[in-house]
Structure 1
Amino acid sequence: MSKKTGRQLVASNKKARHEYLIEDVVEAGLVLTGTEVKSLRMGRASLAEGYCTDYRGELYLENVHIPEYTQGTWTNHAARRRRKLLLHREQIDKMTAKAAQAGRTIVPLALYFVDGRAKVEIALAKGKKLHDKRQTMRERQDQMEAQRAMSAHLQQHG
């Protein structure tokens, strides 16, 4: 079987970019069991309620749902277990120090494979206030309307 190269996206957390102001993004490796990897290769995972915690000086990915592997036996994994992140010591210290500040957390943005290895993109994030979310939605809507007007104009005069 040939190894796939490049980046293959498994899951992304679209809600995180809406709920949080993203400050610092880092790519981390994941410690997974065999059935978790097989389940991820089938493209099954959810980062919706995921977050990272500092536990005994290490960063762990919590509450990320990787469903049980369908062909798995008694060796199957728990769907929402705590998974260790693989980062350099300096990165862990920097992220945990910044996350300790008020209103900040570490959230997963994307789960993917790079050259056959499972990676997760985590970000230091600050919670948005309701008016910030509305402003973001308004900007996105204005951008879409401008795009529509441009394409309509090009169709009439093109």
Structure 2
Amino acid sequence: MSMKDIPVRIGLVVLLWMCGAKLAFAEMPVPTEPAFESKAMTIVFEPPKGKEKEFLEVFVKSQAAYMKAYGGRAAAGVKVINLVPTELGEPLIHLMIYQDKAAYERAKKIFTSREALSGYIDGHIKTYGGYKISREYLASSKVYLSNVLTE
């Protein structure tokens, strides 16, 4: 090995090292935003004390008719399940499963505040009509947020 070969060999080693480093970086996974785990929002409308019969015969029937008419029109990334009571005193349950983070965050802002929910319902009535939730029923409702384990 002569002195003339040393720069060639060093250049070859550097070239091989650079190619190896480039391959190593190419194989590294590109960091991505973690996948959104589905979230659920459950709205439970409890019948007000002393108004269980009216709740079942009037409110539940009107909500069931509305849900049948507009069911299946949920926004993309949202699955809606409506559970209507069959017995006096049972609650009406509106379950929404969100696969989309932005849709979940928007809904969370609306449904976790009674004032925002009331405003949303008023706007909904003006736009679509026929969807009436009395202030009393709204006051006896509860909203629950949860993670979805299985779908």
| TM-score in terms of structure 1 length | 0.22
* More helix, by proportion: 2
Select the structure of larger CA radius of gyration: 2
| TM-score in terms of structure 2 length | 0.23
* More strand, by proportion: 1
